Structure 1
């Protein structure tokens, strides 16, 4: 009978502290993927000297967990991950060290002691902001009103499980359209659509909502809107999204 191999050396140090981190990705780094950020974060914790806990086995890896990352191409002010540490750390000092070690367009906004349970369970909805340039307020207002008047709007998307059809209309709980800037020197308006999207399975993304809106209304825009997640967290009564760290 073959002998079972066991890793050599002492076992990894146990985790004594677990922290939850909120960060933002902005500017050009909105085009970074989740895997890009994971690599950047692993380098950052090494540069910052964070006392990371590691998994056991032949290929130890830092004990970092991620929750509901924004899609590639979208900016965000509300991304989350958790770290397990082998030493108790001052939270303000940890935030500053991580922030300094990450790329310029990524900012660590808040670090708190992790609450019991899974962080992902507290991320029930997101508030998204879509900025349109080169279209009029009336064009976007009329298209969004047509969308919101629907009881159901199905779109299809390729997922890991294959092609899925799902309802994007029911996921949009609140919606507001405003004119941010009247025509600039080139005569282009800036129109902002803010919406609250409930997290579902499969997840409804702003690009899915745009697909449904375009198919429904025939909306044509000169360029894709800039998408920014403003918040994600607990879905409260009335459609308000509260900070999961304040739960």
Structure 2
């Protein structure tokens, strides 16, 4: 049986950031059907389209370069497929590109994620001051009350910068026990950032097979 493994990059923004991961998966299924894609399905009494998300986007965040992998049951021109998907998509969900992945390749693993937030002038200057302090110290504590533990953020944070009114950082995935993006913000005095109307953007999801790709030079090492 023919199977074509395809990795799709997409953007989830605006009000759509308030739908959860399961609802997103169901939305994608409907879009795939409307675009007349023939997906390979799981076995059993209730077959489901084969879709893999390396990392679920946290509720309330925008995702600018998210990842889903699907298996197609018939040959498909990927450029045309992306166009059809965007024609059938909903507001706030844009399909960016797609590529074929060898069927023998391992399950995609997230190496790191890049986050971005935009700050007003006052909070931005406070964050720059706080960031200079913690980067100069040997230990950047993140307190985990639920586990009665303290993590050193420097063990999990690969890159961080505050420039032109924005904070950007590259973080190991929280699925492996590391701090979350929201914990990074809280440690910088931005615990109420979202309550005050701010939006956290997950700018990129970097997979293990992309790890050698360089990030922009304007994004310096921490």
TM-score tier by shorter-chain length is 0.7 to 0.9
Structure 1 residue 88: Cα displacement? 0.4
Q: Give yes or no for the alignment of 1:49 onto 2:36.
A: yes
Counterpart in the other structure of 1:111:
98
2:142–2:183 contact (8 Å) kept in structure 1: no
1:168–1:212 contact (8 Å) kept in structure 2: no
2:182–2:191 contact (8 Å) kept in structure 1: no
- Cα RMSD between the aligned structures? 2.6
Counterpart in the other structure of 1:140:
127
Structure 1 residue 51: Cα displacement? 0.6
1:56-100: CA deviation from partner (whole Å, max 9, x where unpaired): 111111111111122111111111011111100000111111222
How far, CA to CA, are the matches of 1:112 and 1:96 in structure 2? 14
Structure 1 residue 135: Cα displacement? 2.3
Q: Which residue of 154, 158, 162 corresponds with 1:169?
A: 154
Structure 1 residue 203: Cα displacement? 4.3
Counterpart in the other structure of 1:208:
183
2:9–2:98 contact (8 Å) kept in structure 1: yes
1:21–1:112 contact (8 Å) kept in structure 2: yes
Structure 1 runs not aligned, ≥5 long? 1-13, 180-190, 242-247
1:64–1:82 contact (8 Å) kept in structure 2: yes
Structure 1 residue 119: Cα displacement? 4.9
Pick 1 or 2: higher relative contact order, CA cutoff 8 A, min separation 6.
Answer: 2
The 3-state SS of whatever aligns with 1:58 is: coil
2:134–2:140 contact (8 Å) kept in structure 1: no
1:132–1:224 contact (8 Å) kept in structure 2: no
Q: Which residue of 196, 220, 233 corresponds with 2:170?
A: 196
Residues 167 and 98 of structure 1: CA distance in aligned 2, closer, same or farther (over 3 Å): farther
How far, CA to CA, are the matches of 1:56 and 1:230 in structure 2? 35
Higher Cα Rg: structure 1 or 2?
1
The 3-state SS of whatever aligns with 2:108 is: helix
Residues 144 and 219 of structure 1: CA distance in aligned 2, closer, same or farther (over 3 Å): farther
TM-score (norm 2): 0.82
Structure 2 runs not aligned, ≥5 long? 217-222
How far, CA to CA, are the matches of 2:30 and 2:8 in structure 1? 16
The 3-state SS of whatever aligns with 1:82 is: strand
Report the number of matched residues. Answer: 208
How far, CA to CA, are the matches of 1:95 and 1:171 in structure 2? 35
Structure 1 residue 35: Cα displacement? 1.1
Counterpart in the other structure of 1:120:
108
